[in-house]
Amino acid sequence: MGLYVIIMGVQGAGKGTQAAYIQAQYGIPQVSTGDLFRAMKTREDELARRVQDIMNAGLLVPDEVTNEVLQDRLEQADAAGGVILDGYPRNIAQAEWLAQYLTGRGESLSAVILLELDAFTAFKRAFGRVQSPSSGQMFNIYSEAERLTWQAVPHPGGEYPPRIEATDTQTGEALARRSDDADAASVVKRIDTFYAATQPLVDYYRERGVLVSVNADQPVEAVSAAIKSELDRIQSGG
């Protein structure tokens, strides 16, 4: 039996880091439907163009197209022992398709890992994120306060919240924020949208006994260890 794992988590929960950990630990590739669609950018055909238009409009790609693209990926040689799915399923219909597809291959879903993070912590992680323009390294003004100096600078028009300016105290470099992280309202909206869209899937998988909740509000290594202990238990049939 392969190891088929879905990983879900709000932005800031550490999904990318933990997916990379699972990939290294269990030798199964990470499959992100968003990445698969982005990779179609270089293609010139009608389907690829349609997918680009849909993504640019911020909409979901139709299920038939998504499932077909995913199936194609799941049937590649490196995925024979299973995969970590990221960004899929986005709805119950996709979840049902996946279940049927795996059954057809004599496989089944091993676990759905939900990296649990409360909305306020998720907000602080996204809103407090700053990046070194030279090295790309990310910092957080809240959790790495000793490494940074930062100040809130009022907007000329007095809008709330004020802008944040941060400096790396070791190098003196001014750190930059992603524009969509700097806008508090858009961070809140992104987080709200995630919880609303994910809840039906969380309920669906909980009912089927495959949901594994992991507390994401702890150090990276502790989250990885919790994931490993659950996946090891599942793999040994425990």
Using CB under 6 A, which of the segments 32-40, 105-113, 115-123, 207-215 binds ligand AMP?
Answer: 32-40
Closest residue to ligand AMP using C-beta atoms: 34
Q: What CA–CA distance (Å, rounded) separates 184 from 163? A: 10
> What are the percentages of helix, strand and coil residues in the chain, rounded to 5?
50, 20, 30
Going 16 to 98 to 193 to 113, the CA torsion angle's sign is: negative
Q: What CA–CA distance (Å, rounded) separates 59 from 66? A: 12
The residue from 54, 79, 182, 202 that contacts ligand AMP (CB under 6 A) is 54
Q: What CA–CA distance (Å, rounded) separates 224 from 17? A: 9
Among residues 82 and 89, whose Cβ is nearest to ligand AMP?
89
Q: Verify binding: residue 205, ligand AMP, rule CB under 6 A.
A: no
Active site residues: 15, 90, 129, 178, 190
The residue from 40, 48, 55, 99 that contacts ligand AMP (CB under 6 A) is 55
Residue 62, preceding peptide bond in cis (omega within 30° of 0): no
The residue from 11, 66, 140, 224 that contacts ligand AMP (CB under 6 A) is 66
Q: What CA–CA distance (Å, rounded) separates 114 from 46? A: 36
Q: Verify binding: residue 34, ligand AMP, rule CB under 6 A.
A: yes
Which residues of this protein are in contact with ligand AMP, per CB under 6 A? 33-34, 37, 54-55, 59-61, 66, 87-90, 94
